[in-house]
Chain A
Amino acid sequence: GEDVEQSLFLSVREGDSSVINCTYTDSSSTYLYWYKQEPGAGLQLLTYIFSNMDMKQDQRLTVLLNKKDKHLSLRIADTQTGDSAIYFCAESIGNYGQNFVFGPGTRLSVLP
C-alpha cells in the first residue's frame, strides 16, 4: 500500500538551514505537500509541488522533488525559533488525487 516516510526528529541552530526529507511510494501521485503543525493546532499548508516539477521556491522555503527516487525535501533557509513545529509530508493518491497519505511527521527543534 501507499507509504510515506520521514525522519522523526531534526535539530538545527537558529540562522542555519533545515532540510527535512521524505520518501513516498505511489509513483502516480499528482501533487506532494508540506504541512506544518504547531502544538495543539491544525495543519497549515506550507507549500506543494506538482509531480512534473523538480523544484519550487517560496521565500525561505525550497522544495526539491526527485521523482525517480520518490524523494521530496523541504529546505528552510535562515531557520527561526518560530519554525519549531512538526512538518508533515503528504502525497495525493486515488483516481482523482483527492486522498492524502501523510508521513509520520518530523519534529523540528530550533536551538537559540
Chain B
Amino acid sequence: SSELTQDPAVSVALGQTVRITCQGDSLRSYYASWYQQKPGQAPLLVIYGKNNRPSGIPDRFSGSSSGNTASLTITGAQAEDEAVYYCKYRDSSGYHWVFAGGTKLTVL
C-alpha cells in the first residue's frame, strides 16, 4: 500500500484561514476524506468526496483536490477547531484504507 504525508503541526490565528494538506500518489485516483479528533474523543468525519460535509459540520470546513494533493480548508478558524486532523484514502488497489499521520492544528 502507498503512503500519504501530512505536516505534523500547523497553527492559525483565531478567525483566520488555514489549509491542511495531504500528499500522495493515490490521491490522483481517489478523493480523500478528512477526520477531526479532539483529545479523548473518537474521530469525527468533516469532509468526504469532492467537497461534502456531513450533517452538522459547519460550512467553514471545505475540501479540495489537485493532482496528488488533497486539502482541508478552515475559513475563519474557531478555538473549538483545535484538534488533530487526519486524511484518509484508498490505496492504489482500492482494497486498503489508509490514514495519514495527522496534523495537529493549534488555534492561537
> Is A bound to B?
no
Residues of B near any A CB (own CB < 8 A): none
